[in-house]
A and B are shown apart, each in its own frame.
Chain A
Amino acid sequence: MAPLNPDLAGRVFPPTNYLVGREKIREFARAVRSTNPLHHDVEASRAAGFADVVAPPTFSTVVLGPAVTQLMESPGTGIELHRVVHGSEKIEYRRPIVAGDDLSTTLTIVDVSERAGNSFLSTICEVCDETGALVATVTSSFLHRGDA
């Protein structure tokens, strides 16, 4: 196996977009077993000051999907999807994600390293709304398994 391309560090990928849907939030909330009314009930969400239903905190993984897919499928990186293992995730919110948000995610590769035949990749994703305001920052690390 060829190691990951060390020139990847510092690379910034073009923004990807994700339009947050009400039913997707409800579907995700059911999958993580959250019955909180803010994820399901529009009236309850409006009464709490939100425009529509509110996403569960880990819904960021859905929003980041297109950006991560773009990274994994990008030619010349050396990344092979079946070798990728999720190492860590840190999500920091400026405000909750709400149905109707038209979000754009910019993924930057922070670091690439090699150790004991494996590669390590860390990324930071900045999620902004349609006004350009920062909504969330997500820092992730991945192990790219070698042949050993």
Chain B
Amino acid sequence: MSLPAGHAFGDLEVGAVVAKAEPKITRDDLVRYAGASVDLNPIHYNAVTAAEVGLPGVLAHGMLTAALALQVVVDWIGDPTAVISYETRFTRPVVVDPVDGATLSISAKVARLDPDGHTARIDITVSYEGRTVLGKTQAQVRFRP
């Protein structure tokens, strides 16, 4: 079912960085994701609510940060259906400034190869202002036999 274009399993090397990106998240992006994901928690768009519950500001949805991190891998392999599993831990909030937004630093590398199943584990690191915001972020990707 999964036919990644442009990358052969045999060309992968453990430890190789395969993709990087620095996407910027704005408040507009949060509103768009809130509607698309039907996660309407006001801490993701309303500064007053965020302050009332003791948060340092409006936060990005954890699953938006996770999706943008995975998108770096999907863009690299060219096929979203190659992703057979994905996991992450939300370790630190991403505060989105009303003017400057928040710019993430994302890097994906090959962590493990399974020649029998033609699958690769891709580990992704995501940081914001020099600190990681997601932990143990791993995608299992199945390649063409």
Q: A residues engaging B (CB < 8 A)?
A: 24, 27-28, 30-34, 36, 38-39, 48-50, 54, 56-58, 61-62, 65, 81-82, 85-93, 95-96, 139
Q: Which residue of A lies closest to B31 (CB)?
A: A31
Do A56 and B80 contact each other (CB < 8 Å), given the known contacts A30-B32, A33-B68?
Answer: yes
The answer to whether the Cβ of B108 comes within 8 Å of any Cβ in the partner chain is: no
* Cβ contact within 8 Å between B33 and A31: yes
Bound CA span A92–B142, Å: 13
- Pick the contact of A32: B53, B62, B68, B78 (CB < 8 A): B68
- The smallest C-beta distance from A29 to any residue of chain B, in angstroms, reads 8
B contacts with A, residue count (CB < 8 A): 36
Do A57 and B83 contact each other (CB < 8 Å), given the known contacts A32-B64, A96-B1?
Answer: yes
CB contacts (< 8 Å) of A39 on chain B: these are 80
* Cβ contact within 8 Å between B85 and A56: no
Bound CA span A27–B35, Å: 9
- Pick the contact of B38: A30, A57, A62, A93 (CB < 8 A): A62
- Pick the contact of B37: A61, A88, A90, A139 (CB < 8 A): A61
The answer to whether the Cβ of B70 comes within 8 Å of any Cβ in the partner chain is: yes
* Cβ contact within 8 Å between A90 and B85: yes
* Cβ contact within 8 Å between B85 and A31: no
Beyond A31-B32, A82-B53, 12 additional pairs, beta carbon < 8 A? A30-B36, A32-B36, A33-B68, A54-B80, A56-B67, A57-B86, A58-B63, A85-B90, A86-B63, A86-B90, A88-B87, A90-B87
Do A34 and B36 contact each other (CB < 8 Å), given the known contacts A86-B90, A88-B90, A91-B87?
Answer: no
* Cβ contact within 8 Å between A96 and B90: no
The answer to whether the Cβ of B39 comes within 8 Å of any Cβ in the partner chain is: yes
* Cβ contact within 8 Å between B71 and A33: yes
A24, A81, A90, A139: most-surrounded residue (chain B CB, <10 A)? A90
Can you list 25 contacts pairing A with B, beta carbon distance less than 8 Å? A30-B36, A31-B32, A32-B68, A33-B71, A36-B79, A48-B3, A49-B1, A56-B71, A57-B70, A58-B86, A62-B36, A65-B38, A65-B39, A85-B90, A86-B62, A86-B63, A88-B87, A88-B89, A89-B63, A89-B66, A89-B90, A90-B85, A91-B87, A96-B80, A96-B81
CB contacts (< 8 Å) of B78 on chain A: these are 36
CB contacts (< 8 Å) of B33 on chain A: these are 31-32
